[in-house]
Amino acid sequence: MSRNRLSDETSPYLRQHEDNPVHWWAWGDEAFAAAKAEDKPILLSVGYAACHWCHVMAHESFEDASIAALMNEQFINIKVDREERPDVDIIYQSALSMMGEQGGWPLTMFLTPDAEPYWGGTYFPPTARYGRPGFTEVLGSVGAAYGEQKDRLKTNIDALKEGLTKLSHPEGGGELSTEVLNTAATSLLRAVDPIRGGTMGAPKFPQPALFQFLWRAHRRTGSPLFRDAVTLTLDNLCQGGIYDHLGGGFARYSTDEYWLAPHFEKMLYDNALLIELMTDVWLETGSALYKVRIAETIEWAIRELRSEADGEAAFASAYDADSEGVEGKFYVWSEVEIDDILGDAATRFKFTYDVTRFGNWEESNILNRSNELSLGDENVEAVLAAAREKLLKVRAKREWPGRDDKVLADWNGLMIAALAHAAQVFENTEWLTAAETAYRFIMGQMNAAGRINHSWCVGRAQHPAVIEDYANLARGALALFEVTSKDPYLAQAKDWAALADTHHWDPEHHGYYMNANDTDDLIARPKPIHDNATPPGNGTMADVLARLYHLSGDAAYRERCEQTLAALTPKEPEKAMHQLTMMMGFEMLESAVQVVIAGDTTAGPGADMVRTAVHHAPPTRLIVTVNPGDQLPENHPAAGKRPIDGKPAAYVCVGTTCTLPLTDVDELEGHLRAL
């Protein structure tokens, strides 16, 4: 019987469409069987819960009875949450790109009953406008083409399938070196906006991987050009309207070149990656602005973005851009509202946060501090904090944007790593507890016979893991190991790397497939290598394998890392600029600095040594503590190293060579600064 089947799904995005008159199916064998039985093409619609233009197309087309009738008559309609099934999304985004179209969401693709793509686009208005054909016209012409021109379509389908097959075997054969990394960083520098940071033009995305790469280049070369590009970007991000100055947290991107007007959706991954980047940069700059924004963003995530089960809590995916059907309504203010709430304190607040009578965005005001890229003195900031608290209490009574409650394993891996890193740097036990709690949630709620489910929502874990799940979780576990010295974290990282090898490794061409070898509902097995909004699985796996090699001394990890890099590094160096995470993984393999501290590190000189290593070792550092009774693996370069005369001793290891024992904190700091 024809009906909308999405009420059975866990995805908040799919459930947003459960009352559409469209007879939606979820992705699965039943939908494809129906398409084959009825010989109908498939209309595949891919989006996510916080996507503004997904909502627009839903309101304009999927809620319209006449358009829904056309869809139901001509197509089997499948709705996919791109965050639940990133493997589905990447395949059809790639197909759209091969058609010469710009990708994005909502993704609208037309497939044969065998899931082969033959035409597509992104957002379509119901009738022709914005230079886009109307959706009703598209439905008619594309549906007719399948029924009347199957032979002509076959040529296009075969070409697209051949292109998708190539996704499984990216052309490698290139070589990485420090020179290649420096050249890439110099080239990327030309794309940075010298006035406002970020990349030039609009829209502006935070792009944490790009600026992490430039920061590494600064630390590696000492060039102030790289440093200034990163700090200019972070200063503008932290003071712009893309940042929520009341509640904390960054929106996904700014629609303009000034960092003023975001689409307002807040994603877990952006905030995790920015926390880690700001923490790294704070270690050198000591910026009061970054320290405040790190704390506010973490506090927002802990306060507003956690999902709980059985007493444990991990992080949900996102907050929507819209509330009451209006983009940004939850976040913006009129001058009258500010005056009424703040009274005598309004004048200073309005000047600082760019609040005017006529507004700075669509006759409303987006709070921002872009006119001054640093914080005020202690007294000024105290007055502003009190005003923000009053406004936050009023805002809390507004209708909230929708929250996407999905817990995604890969995105939580990013946040676990970021929280562990920030907890170590700022010595904040609450943040470490939040990271460990999220880790336990994944292990308890999303662990299926030793393997990980990709998503969890409303009490159900489902969907097969992708390589990003194992890569990001392994990196998070290694970050927890570095902070806590708890061996189970290291052991679990090794187990996840082994699962990646078993189910995702390509034994012939090398590199990791995104989807597992027993995920059988896809027409291709892509290998993610390019940095997008989140780091690609192969790039993160290179970093994980490098860390495991240095921590264990096991050459098998080095060999696997080198195989990955060789298989996926392009011959043309300019193409490597799209593989920044992978290049940083190479740097970790070749240039890691291990600071091994033998002795009691819980207090006194040992704790001071850990603190010194955290603050002065290069970004490619690994801090290993060997407490009394512990032993390093026999292949580790510092195996057998001991305290000296009962005092904690530090050994700085580069490659297979370690220094003589350093028992003085100042001596350790001097050695690390020299590196």
Reduced to 3 states (helix: H, G, I; strand: E, B; else coil), residue 653 is: strand
Give yes or no for a cis peptide into 536 (omega within 30° of 0): no
What is the pLDDT at residue 675?
83
Cβ neighbours of residue 357 closer than 8 Å, sequence gap 6 or more? 335
Tell me the domain boundaries of the chain: 6-166, 178-323+402-589, 331-395, 593-674
Predicted TM-score (pTM) of the model is 0.97
CATH code of the domain occupying 6-166: 3.40.30.10
Ranked by mean pLDDT, the top range of 156-160, 504-508, 638-642 is 504-508
pLDDT (average), residues 189-211: 97
- 8 Å CB contact between 391 and 331: no
Average pLDDT, the chain: 95
- Position 132 scores a pLDDT of 83
| pLDDT per position as a tens digit, 474-530 | 999 999 999 999 999 999 999 999 999 999 999 999 999 999 999 999 999 999 999
> pLDDT (tens digit, 9 = 90+) per residue, 174-185?
999 999 999 999
Helices (H) and strands (E) in the chain, counts: 24, 18
Mention every residue, 6+ apart, whose C-beta is less than 8 A from residue 667.
Answer: none
Q: What is the pLDDT of residue 153?
A: 84
Q: What is the mean pLDDT of residues 602-626?
A: 95
Half-sphere exposure of 634 (CA within 13 A, CB side): 0
- Report the percentage of the chain scoring pLDDT > 70: 100
Work out the angle at residue 98's Cα, subtended by the Cα atoms of residues 92 and 101, and round it to the nearest 5 degrees: 85
**Taking 90 as the threshold, does the pLDDT of residue 1 lie above it?**
no
Q: What are phi and psi of 590, to 5 degrees?
A: -90, -25
What letter does residue 660 receive in the DSSP assignment? S
Give the pair of three-digit tokens for residue 617: 């070792």
Mean pLDDT of 335-342: 98
Question: How confident is residue 92, by pLDDT bands cut at 50, 70 and 90?
Answer: very high
Q: What is the pLDDT of residues 66-77, one digit of tens each?
A: 999 999 999 999
**Distance (Å) of CA 73 to CA 33, 162, 646:** 17, 31, 81
Residue 573: per-residue pLDDT: 81
As a CATH number, domain 593-674 is 3.40.30
Phi-psi region of 198 (alpha: psi -120 to 50; beta: other; left: phi over 0): left
With a cut of 60, say whether residue 208 has pLDDT above it.
yes
Alpha carbon separation from 90 to 58, 77, 172, 310, 557 (Å, rounded): 22, 19, 20, 33, 28
DSSP letter string, 101-130: ----SSEEEEE-TTS-EEEEES---SSSBT
pLDDT tens digit sequence for 355-402: 999 999 999 999 999 999 999 999 999 999 999 999 999 999 999 999
% of the chain surpassing 90 pLDDT:
89
CATH topology of domain 178-323+402-589: Glycosyltransferase (1.50.10)
For residue 576, is pLDDT > 90? no
Give the per-residue pLDDT at 155: 85
- 324-353 burial by CB neighbour count: b if 16+ within 10 A, else e? eeebbbbbbbbbebbeebbeeebeebbebb
- Average pLDDT for residues 236-261, to the nearest whole number? 97
Query: What's the mean pLDDT in 228-253?
Result: 98
pLDDT in tens, 401-424: 999 999 999 999 999 999 999 999
Among 211, 217, 128, smallest CA distance to 180 is for 217
Domains 6-166 and 593-674 belong to one CATH topology: yes
DSSP state of 452: E
Neighbours of 633 (CB within 10 A): 11
How far apart are alpha carbons 535 and 272 in whole angstroms?
A: 12
For residue 376, give the nearest of 349, 403, 407, 346 by alpha carbon: 349
The C-alpha angle with vertex 398 and arms to 392 and 401, in degrees rounded to 5, equals 100
